[in-house]
Structures are given as C-alpha cells and as structure tokens.
Structure 1
Amino acid sequence: MSYYSVLDVTPADDKWVADYVAVSGKIVAKHGGKYLARTASHEQIEGNDQPAALRIILEWPSKEAALNFMKDQEYVPHLEARTKGSVSHHYLIEAKDDLA
C-alpha cells in the first residue's frame, strides 16, 4: 500500500539546503519514492495559523520504503543537517480512507 510523507519545513539557516536538495532526490528515488510537491507556493485556508517556509509531499510504494529512506546511511547526515537547521514536521500517512 502507498504511503505519503507530508512535511512542513522552515529553515533557521540555509547552509544545509543546497547540499540537501542536491542529493535528496536521488536517495528518494533509490527507495521508490517521488516528490509530488516541494514548494514555497502554498497557502493555509483553514485552521489556526501554522506557518512554514516549505511544504513537501512525497509518495512511497510502502511504509517500509519511507522508513528505509529515513535510515539510509547516505541520507542520515542530510536529515541531521535539516533537523538541526530548521523547524520541521514530518507526517507519514497511509493511503487509505478509514471513513469510507
């Protein structure tokens, strides 16, 4: 079953961004994932204000693929740089409708 990663990221500094962007796509693809959106062009239309500089959505073929990406030794230093250099929230969402 497919899973989606939904992230909001606000860099505290941008020192890590160029290196992160240069390699993350390759590592995402290695684990069968693909970026659906990676953008600063977004607006919140409902709820309490939750500002973020970037919104990112990735699609994964499985939960295991997403988790393996997060543990990939090539990715780990970039993950550490992102989490240290930003305020980030990452949600892993199963592609199903529990209310259907």
Structure 2
Amino acid sequence: MTAYSILAVTPTSEGWIPSYIEPVGKIIAKHGGKYLVRTTSHEQVEGADSPAALRIILEWPDRQAALNFVNDPDYAPYLKARREGSDSVHFVVEGKDDLA
C-alpha cells in the first residue's frame, strides 16, 4: 500500500541544506520514493498555528520503504544534520481511508 512522508521543516541554520538536497534525493530514490511536494508556498487554513518554513510530501511504495529510508545508515548523517539544523516533524502515513 502506498505511503507518504509528510514533513514540516523550519531551518534554524542553513549550512546543512546545500549538502543535503542531492545526496538525500538519491537515497530517497534508492528506496523507491519520490518528492510530490517540496515548497515554501503553503498556507495554513485551519487549526492551531503550526508554522513551518517548508512543507514536504514524499510518496513511497509502502510504509516499510519509508521506514527503510529513515533507518538507512547512508541517511544517518543527513538526518542528524537536519535535526541539528532545523525544527522539523516527520509523519509516515499509509494511503488508506480507515473511516470508509
């Protein structure tokens, strides 16, 4: 079942970003993932204020592919850099409707 990573990222420093984008894109592709959204153009229209500079949505073949990416040793130094250089949250969501 298709799964999605949904991230909200606000950099607290920008030094990690240039060396993050290209190699992480390759690691994402290695796990069958692809970017659907990677933008600073977003507007919150409902709920408590949840600011973020960047919204990202990745599509994965399944939940396990997303988790394999997050736990990939090749990704570990980039994940560390993102965590240290930003305020961010990452959700993995399966593409299903539990309320149908």
Do these two structures clear the TM 0.5 threshold for a shared fold by scoring above it? yes
Aligned length: 100
Query: Structure 2 regions of 5+ residues with no counterpart?
Result: none
Q: Distance in 2 between matches of 1:65 and 1:94?
A: 11
**TM-score relative to the length of structure 1:** 0.97
Q: Distance in 2 between matches of 1:83 and 1:60?
A: 22
Counterpart code for 1:57? I
Q: Where does residue 41 of structure 1 map in the other structure?
A: 41
Give 4+ residue runs of structure 1 displaced > 3 Å after superposition.
none
Q: Where does residue 23 of structure 1 map in the other structure?
A: 23
Q: Please give the per-residue CA displacement for 1:29-80, whole angstroms capped at 9, x wherever unaligned.
A: 0000000000101110111111000000000001111111111121110000
Alignment of 1:1-100 (within 5 A): 1-100=1-100
**TM-score relative to the length of structure 2:** 0.97
Q: Distance in 1 between matches of 2:46 and 2:64?
A: 32
Query: Structure 1 regions of 5+ residues with no counterpart?
Result: none
Tell me the percent identity: 61
Counterpart code for 2:51? P
Counterpart code for 1:64? Q
CA RMSD of superposed structures (Å): 0.7
